[in-house]
Structures are given as structure tokens and as C-alpha cells.
Amino acid sequence: MKRIQDNHPLIRKGVFSIVLLIMIAVVHFGVIDDIGRSSTESGFKRALLTFGIARSLNGIISVAQGTEVALQPAGMGVIFTPGQILDPVNDLVERFSWVMLACSTSLGAQRVLLDITAWPGFTVFIAALFCIVLLATWFPNTVNDRVYRIAYKSAAILLILRFAIPMVAIANEGVYHYFLAPQYERSKQQLEQTTDTIGRIHRASQENLSRKPGSLLDEARHLYESASRQIDIDARVEEYKVAAANVSEYTINLIVVFVLQTIIFPLIFIWLMIQFIKRIATS
């Protein structure tokens, strides 16, 4: 990297110096850090909330799986087993909870890395390198070309590393709000409703199953209620199937949202950062 020579117009040096001073101020006051930290916190809270929804759904499905409803009207036996319908979905939900745990961990790691890159010593070192570049720009004879090139490249590379994590967080949050938020909100709401639905179906299936021996009239009433439940069994099976289909659809939607936000987009940004660093190092 060639320095701005003394025979270049004064205005060019001035613009270059102003840009460097702005960078020093941004690094020192941590404006981008604050925005990045806020963005990371928002994503972290969403991931934890979704992880909680996944665990709640997994719990209610496991409870429903562990029950059987036996109906025996007029000696004809019918056994209603929710586990047969919910078992494949429960496997998906368990994997979903692990994905959400990994995404929450990724966002937590980003928060820690943001604090590390915002370390004051790192900031002071970058500012010192920029001061050397400014000194070489206005007083060329005080700094030789080799020192200038080292200071300039080092400052540029460290600046990229300094703002990599907050820029990832800001970019992720921007992509989320513009493209992923509607899908996330709709899927989260539907999973919460599906959790309530499965719980309601399970409670309804367990009502009046345990009874004490009674009179002939009580026995006749129980026989009638059992027959009524058998008639209703197909409706409950359909409700479970609809709930299972909803779980599959909206769980996959949420996996897509968080994998994009915590894995795919950060990897793309890291790749771009590496390309910038390579270009600066070889220039």
C-alpha cells in the first residue's frame, strides 16, 4: 500500500485523515459494539424462547404418547393410542430442541466474542496504528515506507477483526427483520397453539376413564358414554393428525430461520472477511 505522497493535493490528505479519525472515534466510543450487542441479545432471547417452546411441546407429546384409551362398549374393544400418530413428530421435535440449543449456544458465543473484541487494549492498539498512518501521511520523512505499509495493513486487518462480530450480529438482525420475522412469528404462534391443542385432546381423552363400580343405572350410563367416546374417536384421531402435520411444518420453518441466522449467514460473512483480509495482505 503506497502512502499518500506529499505532492498530492492537500484536500486528498484531509479527506483521508478525516476518514481515519472517524474510524478511530467509532472504535473508541463503541457505537457499532452497542448496536451489535443489542442485536445479539435480541437473537439470543428469541432462540431461548423457541428452545423453551420446543421443550414444552416435546413434554406434552411425550405425556400423550404414554397413554392409551381403551373403549369397550358392548364387549367390543377399541384402543386409542396417540403414540402411533405422534411418535415420528416427537423425534422431529427432539431434534429441533437440539438444533435450538446449538443456535442458542452460537448466539451466546457471539456475545462473548463481541465483549472480547471490544477489549480496551485492542482498541488502543488499533488507534495507535492509525496514528502512525496519520503521522506518515502528513510528515512522510518521520516514518519509512516499510513501517507505513505494516501499520496500514495491520490497522486495516485488525479493524475488520474488531468489527466482524458486531457486523455479523447487525447483518443477521437486519435480515431477520426484513425477511425472516413473519415466518418466525407465524411458526412460533402455531407451535404454541399446537402444544395447547395436543394437551386439550389428551385431557379430553382421559376424562371419565376411571370410575367406581355403581348401580345398574350407572353401568348403563357408562356403557352409553363409552359408546359415545368410540364415535368420537375418529374425530380425535384426525385432530392428532392435524396437530402432527402442523408440528412438522412449523418446526421445519423455525429450523430454517435459526440455521440461516446463526450458521449460514455468519459463515458467509466470515468467508467475505477472509477474502478482504487476503486482499489487504497481498496488496
Query: What pLDDT is recorded for position 20?
Result: 83
Q: How many C-beta atoms lie closer than 10 Å to residue 97's C-beta?
A: 20
Query: What pLDDT is recorded for position 141?
Result: 77
Query: What pLDDT is recorded for position 254?
Result: 92
Query: What pLDDT is recorded for position 80?
Result: 57
Q: Where in 114-184 does DSSP place strands (E)?
A: none
Query: What pLDDT is recorded for position 162?
Result: 85
Query: What pLDDT is recorded for position 222?
Result: 53
Name the strand (E) or helix (H) holding 80: strand 78-80
Half-sphere exposure of 70 (CA within 13 A, CB side): 5
Dihedral sign for Cα 222, 228, 234, 238, please.
Answer: negative
Q: How many C-beta atoms lie closer than 10 Å to residue 244's C-beta?
A: 21
pTM: 0.76
Of 166, 161, 178, 163, residue with least CA distance to 260: 178
Interacting residues of 174 by C-beta distance below 8 A, sequence separation 6+: none
- Report helix, strand and coil shares of the chain as percent, to nearest 5: 85, 0, 10
Count, residues in the chain: 283
- CA-CA distance, 165 to 70, in Å (whole number)? 57
Query: What pLDDT is recorded for position 256?
Result: 92
- CA-CA distance, 30 to 20, in Å (whole number)? 15
Query: What pLDDT is recorded for position 76?
Result: 46
Helices then strands, counting H and E runs in the chain, come out as: 8, 2
Q: Phi and psi (nearest 5°) for 186?
A: -65, -45
DSSP state of 263: I
Going residue by residue through the chain, which has 283 residues, state the pLDDT in tens, using 9 for 90 and above: 555 554 456 778 788 888 888 888 888 888 888 899 999 999 999 999 999 998 888 888 887 776 655 444 444 445 556 666 777 788 888 899 999 988 888 888 888 888 888 888 888 888 888 888 888 888 877 878 888 888 888 888 888 888 888 888 898 888 889 889 999 999 999 998 888 888 887 776 665 444 444 444 454 455 445 545 554 566 777 777 888 888 888 999 999 999 988 888 888 888 888 888 888 888 7
Query: What pLDDT is recorded for position 208?
Result: 47
Q: Phi and psi (nearest 5°) for 80?
A: -100, 115
List 69's β-bridge partners, or say none: 80
Interacting residues of 269 by C-beta distance below 8 A, sequence separation 6+: 164, 167, 168, 171
- Contact (CB, 8 A) for 205 and 237: no
Dihedral sign for Cα 199, 200, 205, 207, please.
Answer: positive
Q: Phi and psi (nearest 5°) for 230?
A: -65, -40
- CA-CA distance, 40 to 187, in Å (whole number)? 21
In three-state secondary structure terms, 70 is strand
